Amino acid sequence: MQKRLLGKSGLEVSALGFGCMGMSFGYGPPKDKLEMIAILRAAVERGITFFDTAEVYGPFTNEELVGEALAPFRNRLTIATKFGFDTSVDPRSTKGGGPVLNSRPEHIKEVAEASLKRLRTDVIDLFYQHRVDPDVPIEEVAGAVKDLIREGKVKHFGLSEAGIQTVRRAHAVQPVAAVQNEYSLWFRRPEEGLLQTLEELGIGLVPYSPLGKGFLTGKIDQATTFDSTDFRSTLPRFAPEALKANQALVDLLDRIATQKNATTAQIALAWLLAQKPWIVPIPGTTKLNRLDENIGAASIELTADDLATIEQAAAKITVHGNRYPEKIEELTGR
């Protein structure tokens, strides 16, 4: 697979990464461990070198899965994980039922030590702040990661769902290699200044949910139901009326896919790859055929005319529904 540089950090990874969360967390019950290990190793065999996890996925179980699956190939891979939540507090016990943030420097260092053990490694390649903590100045967060880099426990610093000014302030203390924000044809907020800022500063973008949490694959419609353990069951954008209204976006992708002898998912990923050479999407999957489908997107060439056609059609489509419930949405874009 082709490689890409995440900005000016020197961090080179496969053009498509692998988002591991759904194997253990978020999209229904945890999947069979041995099957997931086989999928992750198949991804390595197919040229994927960039894997994304977090301590909060499970919590802990996803990092353990990734650590076990990738241990035989560790020296040729880039593994990203995240800090920023207090996993000792049950969100259900909090006011509003939301997750509890904790990016105090001492906590960041504790999380790093625990993640290193679960990932079976002596260094974290890319360490993201998972969500911005309004109670801790971002300069202190960047300083704590800078210490970990100096100690050889972390190689690169990242931010997730951070706003433009937060990125600038953090980058001034410790260069940010990558920002991981949601970005796809049905969530385009990064185009409102963030992409321009990242280009200016030489920072890569790692879009999570590049397939719209599965919606842009064309396999979900208003009749789709979700298990209570699937977090999409709580998302306004996945309510039946929103899914029906948003189908126009899938129809657009399907028209382009037919012309290119591709799938809607492949066109959605190819569109992201065509936006900037320093964008590396991280689609996740639990199925081998979907892994191969995703990888196929990296070889699809969208011409300037193709991109213009998509842009003109997408501009006429209004996406319906918030992407998260209000409590979660508050944690994004600070």
Q: Which residues are catalytic?
A: 57
Of 56, 51, 101, 47, give the one whose Cα is nearest residue 78. Answer: 51
Question: Helix axis angle, 164-173 relative to 138-150, nearest 10°?
Answer: 40
Count CA within 13 A, CB hemisphere, residue 78. Answer: 28
Tell me the C-alpha to C-alpha distance, in Å, between residue 67 and each of 51, 113, 281, 306. 10, 14, 21, 40
Helix (H/G/I), strand (E/B), else coil: 110: helix
**Separation in Å, CA 316 to CA 209, 215, 249, 319:** 22, 19, 10, 10
Distance CA 270, CA 239 (A): 27
Distance CA 23, CA 31 (A): 6
Q: For the chain, first and last CA: distance in Å?
A: 34
- Distance from chain centroid for Cα 274: 17
Residue with tokens 């540089």: 5
Integer Cα distance of 230 and 227 in angstroms: 5
- DSSP secondary structure string, 49-67? -EEE--TTTTTTHHHHHHH
**Closest by alpha carbon to 3, among 50, 40, 51?**
50
Angle (CA) 232-84-125 rounded to 5° is 100
Instruction: Quickly count: other Cβ atoms within 10 Å of residue 79's Cβ.
Output: 23
DSSP 187-220: B-GGGTTHHHHHHHHTBEE--BSTTGGGGGGT--
